[in-house]
Amino acid sequence: MELLSRLKENANYGGQAVLEGVMIRGPKALAVAVRRTDGRIVLKKEPLTPLTRRHPLLNVPFIRGAFALADALMTGVRALRFSADVAMEEENERAAGDAGREGLEAAEPALPPQPRIEVRDVAAGAGVPVWSLVFSLLTALGIAVAVFVLFPDFLANLLRGHLPPGKASNALINLLEGLVRVVLFVGYIVAISRMEAIRRVFEYHGAEHQVIYAFENGDQVTPEAAARYDTAHPRCGTSFIGAVILVGILAFSLVDVDTWYLRQAIKLALLPVIGGISYEVIRLAGAGYLTFLVAPGIWLQRLTTRRPDREQAEVAIAALQGALEQEGRSL
């Protein structure tokens, strides 16, 4: 019983990839670990109280999904900002070093050894304002809604005037809309995966999943042990997107409205409902139930994850250890 209780507790941990690093969050804390080019790992730890724990009414099934996603979005922005600040810090250091070496002929003295993992609250030389990340995020969300919600509806409904009215035609149109959405999303992932920076993020994404797998299965959390696990995880945000697409096809099939702006308004209003249902699906799949519902998300993760190297796994382990230490636990 004690082992089962521990395994269930370990299943409450997850995270996301950031720039050259990983964020791991647990029930009460999160940690962000970022690898510098000099090999050091910069670690930030902070306590965490999710919105759904602050207000019990927000933890009601099918309602809590929207608030849990909003909370994940806020913590994700903070983690992304920290990783960007570490990158900016290194840029500032390189610029200062280049300026200091101008006109000097003598060899520089050796630098003192640096700790392998350096714990900080903030990154020195931080230069990425939070409003910039928030603006970029809101812009990206707006583009995503336009491309993956409104545009597929527009394309699919070009057939509406060529089909006889009725539920069968409406179901066909919504199925086509879902297929268009899948093609656009997969095409987008394939396109950006060719970028070097995105490929690195996908590798850290795989490292996060492998380390979480090892931890929640009670295995020894080392790079070698983590490498034995899959890079796809049922609780991943990509699986959530896959669930949203499936639930959206079913939900939108109930919307049989000819007026385009009214139809679009109804579909946008349904997004929180679809998100709430999809969130419950992911929770069930993470607990080992109805896993077939997240199969499309697992397939998508073959595109959004890559197998990491040892150093990337070490970063994910440092983030997990940091979150556990903040909660008074250890690996």
Q: pLDDT tens across 67-95, in order? A: 888 888 888 888 888 888 888 887 777 77
Binned at pLDDT 50, 70 and 90, residue 112 comes out as: very low
| Cα 22 from Cα 205, distance rounded (Å) | 7
| Cα 2 from Cα 5, distance rounded (Å) | 5
Look up residue 206 and give its two tokens. 């795989």
Mean of all residue pLDDT scores within the chain? 81
Q: Does the pLDDT value for residue 298 go beyond 90?
A: no
Torsion of CA 207, 210, 214, 220, to 10 degrees: -40
| Cα 242 from Cα 307, distance rounded (Å) | 21
Lowest mean pLDDT among 213-217, 226-230, 238-242: 238-242
pLDDT at 166: 64
pLDDT at 221: 93
Binned at pLDDT 50, 70 and 90, residue 49 comes out as: confident
Please report, as a single letter, which amino acid is at residue 19: L
Binned at pLDDT 50, 70 and 90, residue 99 comes out as: low
pLDDT at 128: 58
| Helices 167-192, 295-304: inter-axial angle, 10-degree rounding | 30
Binned at pLDDT 50, 70 and 90, residue 131 comes out as: low
Residue 24 CB neighbour total at 10 angstroms: 27
**Is 58 within 8 Å of 272 (Cβ atoms)?**
no
Binned at pLDDT 50, 70 and 90, residue 29 comes out as: very high
| Cα 74 from Cα 77, distance rounded (Å) | 5
For 85, counting Cβ atoms within 10 Å of its Cβ (0-12 exposed, 13-18 middle, 19+ buried), the class is: buried
pLDDT at 278: 87
Of 173, 176, 198, 177, give the one whose Cα is nearest residue 188: 198
| Cα 80 from Cα 87, distance rounded (Å) | 11
Task: Mark 122-147 as b/e (b = at least 16 C-beta within 10 Å).
Answer: ebeeeebeeeebeeeeeeeeeeeeee
| Cα 234 from Cα 282, distance rounded (Å) | 7
Q: Does the pLDDT value for residue 126 go beyond 70?
A: no
**Is 82 within 8 Å of 18 (Cβ atoms)?**
yes
pLDDT at 280: 86
| Cα 86 from Cα 92, distance rounded (Å) | 10
| Cα 322 from Cα 22, distance rounded (Å) | 11
pLDDT one-digit tens code per residue, 242-254:
788 888 888 887 7
Task: Spell out the SS3 assignment of the chain.
Answer: CHHHHHHHHHCCCEEEEECCEEEEECCCEEEEEEECCCCCEEEEEEECCCHHHHCHHHHCCCCHHHHHHHHHHHHHHHHHHHHHHHHHHHHHHHHHHHHHHCCCCCCCCCCCCCCCEEECCCCCCCCCCHHHHHHHHHHHHHHHHHHHHHHHHHHHHHHHHHCCCCHHHHHHHHHHHHHHHHHHHHHHHHHHCCCHHHHHHHHHHHHHHHHHHHHHCCCCCCHHHHCCCCCCCCCCHHHHHHHHHHHHHHHHCCCCCCCHHHHHHHHHHHHHHHHHHHHHHHHHHHCCCCHHHHHHHHHHHHHHCCCCCHHHHHHHHHHHHHHHHHCCCCC
pLDDT one-digit tens code per residue, 248-273:
888 887 777 777 788 888 888 888 88
pLDDT at 149: 78
